[in-house]
Amino acid sequence: MRLFVLLIVSIVLYSCHSDKDLAFQKIELKCEWFFQEEGKENQLAANIPGSIHLDLLANQKIEDPYYANNEIKQRWIEEKNWIYTTQFNIDKELLKNDNIHFIFEGIDTYSDIILNGNKILSTDNMFRSWDIDVKPFLKEKHNQLEVHFKSPILYNKEKVKSYPQKLPSGNEGEEIETKVCSFTRKAAYQFGWDWGPRFVGCGIWKPIYIQIWNDAKIENVFIQTKKIEENTASIESQVELLIEKAGNYEIELDSIIIKKYLEKGKHTINHHFNINNPQLWWSNGHGNPYLYTQKIKLIKNNQILDSKTQKYGIRTIELVNEKDAIGTAFYFKLNGKPIFMKGANYIPQDVFLTRVKDEQYESLIQSVKDAGMNMIRVWGGGVYEKDLFYELCDKNGILVWQDFMFAGSMYPNLPEFHQTIKQEIEENIKRLRNHPSIAIWCGNNEIEVAWNNWGWQKQYGYSEQDSIDLWENYKSIFHGMIPNSLQVLDNSRPYTTTSPLSNWGTAENFNHSSMHYWGVWHGREPFENFEKNVGRFMVEYGFQSFPDMSTLKKVIPKDSMFLASTMMQHRQKSYIGNGLITKHIEQYYDSPQSFEEFVKLSQETQAKGYEMAIQSHLSNQPHCMGTLFWQLNDCWPGPSWSVIDYYGNKKKAYYSVQEEFTKK
C-alpha cells in the first residue's frame, strides 16, 4: 500500500453572508485521492468529483472512451469493483463542535463508506445525498476515508435473476446478458439509449462536505407565491429549523424578526407577507424574469448561528388539463395568462457528468433563450440537474418541465427500493421547489403509454396476476408516493403522472392531452404527416441528423469515415437510423455523392422536418398549445435528433427552429 500525502482539509465557508461569528460551517473536503481496482495493489491518482472512466483516462489506462469503438472495448469496467481512498487532518478546534457531519452530495451508486476503520454508510442511489454523523469517528491526524464501490451489474445480478418478473429495460442492448437498469437508481441513459452509448461507471460525482454546527441550523427555506391579485402579491416564507438545544431563538427575515422559544427537534416557521406592485417573473418572450432576494438569519443570544440567502420569483403557474369542446385541453397559464410553450427536450450534456463546465451550461441556456424558447423538458432518463442549470433558467425566463428520473421501464416492488426513491423524491422536490422556472413535475417518461400500447405483457410473458402486481406497484409510486410527497412539499405546481398522456396511434388521440408523436421516425411516416397530426401539447417529436464533419473527425478514424463502416454503424444507435435518413434525403434532394454530402444533407433534411412540424403546431393554436421537439443537445458525438451537437456546434435545424420560434 503506497503512502498518502497528508493534507489539511481546505476550509471553504459555504454561506451567503459575511458574519465572522457564524456558528454553522460547511467545509468542502478537498484532499488528494487515490483509486484502485478491488483486489489489486496498484493505486492511481483520482479527481474528486469525478468518475472511474475519467480517472482511468487521466492515468492513461484507457483511451478516449468516445473514440472509435472504445465503448465496446471498455465494457469490462462496469463489472469491476473499485476503491477510492484519501487521508486528511482536521483542525482540533473544529473537533470541539457538538455536531460534525459528512454530507456526500452525490455517490454513484453502490458503495460502502469507511472512516478510520468504521463503516459509516452504505449508498444505493445516485440521485440523492447522504448525511451522516462522523464526530464519534474523527480524530485530529491521519483520518482515512475509503469508498468501496460495487459494480451495479454484480450488485443486482441475483436480484434480477430471482425477481418474479422480468422487468422491461429496452435501453440496454440485446447483447447485454443481465439487464439491471430497472433495479438501479442511476442515470438510465448511462446504460445506453437510441442516441447514446453505454458507459456504466461509478464515482464520487458531487462534492463531499463537512458540516459543523452546535445549537441549531437552518435546514431548508421555501418561498412561494400564494396569490396575485390587483397590485398585491401574497407570499409565504417557510423556514425549516433543526434545534439541538432548546432555547430562545430569533428568526430574521429581511427586516422582520420572529422570536420563539423552541424545543429540541425540527420546527417550521411560516411567515406571510405582501409585496405591493410586485414585479412578476415572466418566461422568455413575455416579460422580465424578475427575481427577488430574501435573507434569513437564525440568531441566539445575539450570535448568528446560521444564515441563508434565497432568490425567488413572484409568479403563478397553472396547467389546464380538462375536457373541452375539442377533447382534453393541455396548456399552461403563467400569471393567469395562457402561454404557448416553445422549446425542446434536454438530456445530460455528457455521459461523464463531472466534465461539463459551468460555461457549457451558460452557453447552452443562452442558446435556448436566443432560439426564442420558453420551456425545456428535463427528461426522466438523465439526472436531476445541478443547481446552476435551474439558476440559469430562472435568470433567462426558461420554464422547466421536470421529470422525475424514471423512464421506459417498470420498477421492482422491494422495500429498500421504495425507501430510497422516496428519499430521492422528497430531497429533489425540496432542492428545486424555490426555482420559479420549475413549471410542472412529471412522474416519468413513457411508462404508461408503453404499458398500454407497446405489448410488454406479451413480450415478457406476464400472467394476469403478474400484470396486476406490476401495475399496482407502478401506481403506488406515480399515483401515490410522488403526488403525496408533492402535496406536502410543493402543492404550488401541477403534477402529471407520466408523459405522454395520449398515444399517437389513432387520429382521435390527437385531441387529448400531452402527446409524443413518433409517426415520423418510428412509424416511418413522411414529414407531411407533421401537418396532419397535431396534438394538444407536443412533448416529443423529431428527426435525426449527423453532427458536423468536424465533430465526427474527432472520434472516427479517417479510414472509417463512410456510412457502411463498422465504426460508423456502431455510432448509429437507432435501429432504423441511417436508412431512414437516407430515404428522407432522397425525397427532397439528389442522392448524396459522398459521405460529407450525406452529413450535410442529413442536417438540411432534419431542418426541413422541424420547420414543417413547428409551423403546423404554431398555426393550430389554440388546439395545440405547446411544442417541445426531441432533442436539444447531445451527450456524446454521434448521429441523433439534436440541434446542437456534443461540442456545441449548432446544426441547420437550430436556425430553422430559431426562425420559427422568433417570428412575430
Over residues 186-240, the pLDDT tens digits come to 999 999 999 999 999 999 999 999 999 999 999 999 999 999 998 999 999 999 9
pLDDT at residue 664 in the model = 76
Q: Is pLDDT above 50 for 384?
A: yes
Q: Mind listing the pLDDT tens digit for each residue in 351-372?
A: 999 999 999 999 999 999 999 9
Q: Mind listing the pLDDT tens digit for each residue in 144-162?
A: 999 999 999 999 999 999 9
The whole-angstrom separation of Cα 421 and Cα 532 is: 40
Q: Say what percent of the chain tops pLDDT 70.
A: 97
Q: Are 70 and 62 contacting, i.e. CB atoms less than 8 angstroms apart?
A: yes
546 closest CA partner among 602, 499, 477? 602
Q: Mind listing the pLDDT tens digit for each residue in 265-308?
A: 999 999 999 999 999 999 999 999 999 999 999 999 999 999 99
pLDDT at residue 166 in the model = 95
pLDDT at residue 465 in the model = 97
| Mean pLDDT within 369-377 | 98
| Mean pLDDT within 562-588 | 96
pTM for the full model?
0.94
| Mean pLDDT within 167-190 | 94
pLDDT at residue 22 in the model = 56
Give 469's contacts (C-beta < 8 A, 6+ positions apart): 164, 165, 413
416 closest CA partner among 16, 42, 125? 125
Q: Is pLDDT above 80 for 17?
A: no
Q: Is 417 helix (H, G, I), strand (E, B) or coil?
A: helix
pLDDT at residue 267 in the model = 97
Q: Is pLDDT above 80 for 2?
A: no
The whole-angstrom separation of Cα 155 and Cα 437 is: 37
Cis check: omega of the bond before 500, within 30 degrees of 0:
yes
The whole-angstrom separation of Cα 131 and Cα 650 is: 41
β-bridge mates for residue 304, sequence order? 299
pLDDT band (50, 70, 90) for residue 12: very low
Q: Is pLDDT above 90 for 649?
A: yes
Judging by beta carbons within 10 Å of its beta carbon (0-12, 13-18, 19+), is residue 119 exposed, middle or buried? Answer: exposed
* Domains of the chain, CATH where assigned: 7-209 (2.60.120.260), 215-312 (2.60.40.10), 326-661 (3.20.20.80)
Q: Is 424 helix (H, G, I), strand (E, B) or coil?
A: helix
Q: Is pLDDT above 50 for 3?
A: no
Q: Say what percent of the chain tops pLDDT 90.
A: 95
Give 302's contacts (C-beta < 8 A, 6+ positions apart): none
The whole-angstrom separation of Cα 101 and Cα 82 is: 25
pLDDT at residue 19 in the model = 37
C-alpha cell at 47: 479527481
Give 95's contacts (C-beta < 8 A, 6+ positions apart): 135, 138, 139, 140
The whole-angstrom separation of Cα 68 and Cα 557 is: 7
620 closest CA partner among 514, 528, 511? 511
| Mean pLDDT within 409-418 | 97
Q: Mind listing the pLDDT tens digit for each residue in 58-92?
A: 999 999 999 999 999 999 999 999 999 999 999 99
- Give kind and range of the element (H or E) at residue 73: helix 70-73
pLDDT band (50, 70, 90) for residue 18: very low
C-alpha cell at 628: 417541445
| Mean pLDDT within 609-629 | 98
| Mean pLDDT within 113-138 | 98
Q: Is pLDDT above 50 for 312?
A: yes
